[in-house]
Structures are given as C-alpha cells and as structure tokens.
Structure 1
Amino acid sequence: MFTAPEGGALVRNNFNVQAWKPALVAAGVLPLPSSESRTRKAVDGMYRAAGEGNDGPQAAQAA
C-alpha cells in the first residue's frame, strides 16, 4: 500500500508517529497530546517496570 520515500518498506513505528497519529489529531479523532500526559505515561511506565510492591498506603497501615 505505502512505500518509503526511497521505495522500500515503511517502518511501521515511524509511519505511525510521523504520519498516521498526526493525521488522526488533525481530523479530530485523537486529542492533541500534552507534555503533561506524556510525562504521566513515562512516570507510570517507570513504576510498572519496577514492579508492584507493597509500599503504598495500605502497607503503611498494616505495619
């Protein structure tokens, strides 16, 4: 369907980030991403990568 400017295969992630998602934002299908939401996703992902531990308020109450 689509080819890269050089004529080869597209890298799916590049197409998604550089063309597809901006087109969806321009069409009003997706909201414009804010730096706050990107930061929140990054922080949440960092904590998920660290694993779920018993270090929240429930753990403090149990002590």
Structure 2
Amino acid sequence: MKPDGPLVTKRLYFSLTGGGAVRRTDFNTRVWKLALVQAGVIPEPKEGERHQAAREHGMHALRHFYASVLLDAGENIKALSSYLGHGDPGFTLRVYTHLMPSSDGRARRAVDGLYEGPGSTSDGPGTAQAE
C-alpha cells in the first residue's frame, strides 16, 4: 500500500503454468500478436523474426478503445479518468477522446431533439436520407 508499509500478498488472477506473474510483454508477444495475425490485422512474421512493433497493434490500443467506447456511450469524464488511473480528467480528455463513428449522428439527434415537440417528426439530415 505504501513503499515503507507492511508487505501485502495478493493472489493473481492469471499466472504462468509454473507459477508467477504473467508479464504484459509476454502476453503481448505470445497471445495478443498471435490473435492479431489470425484475425488478419498484422502479417505473420518471417521465420526467426519478431512481430511488427507498432503501438496501434499493442495492448495499449485496447485502453484507447475502452476509453473511447465509454466516452461515446456518455460516461462521465471524471469517472473514466478514475477508471484509467488518471489524477487529471483533463489529461484523459486530451489523450483518450477519439471520435467514434456514431458521434456525428448522436450530435445531430441531440440538436434535432431540442427542436422537436411531442409527436413531431424530424426534418434533419436523417429524414432526407430515409426517403
């Protein structure tokens, strides 16, 4: 809990077959990258070579995806900042806000909804596209 505090032992959710912690780099190389190859996202490395080193293909991409999905779903930035372990919600906004494809549509619906009365139909871009 504290650098000078008492030692605390916790059971690991995931461990190696022989015991011990699963390191992020091992998981990234032995599991994650293999899954990306099988999904056709990255090419299989040549014999004796390593997988491509690209941040967008690493485990960190899942963190960005998680943050973007929660923001797109309307999660509070302060809560998301806490989930990600950030002390400053402004940092979370600067680093993890990626526009999702549904963001434009959600913004249009919000503005359309402001001007719609009970039982009225939208005259916005979605109406013209539906015809």
Same fold (TM over 0.5): no
Q: TM-score, with normalisation over the residues of structure 2?
A: 0.23
Which structure exhibits the higher relative contact order, with contacts defined as CA atoms closer than 8 Å and separated by 6 or more residues?
2
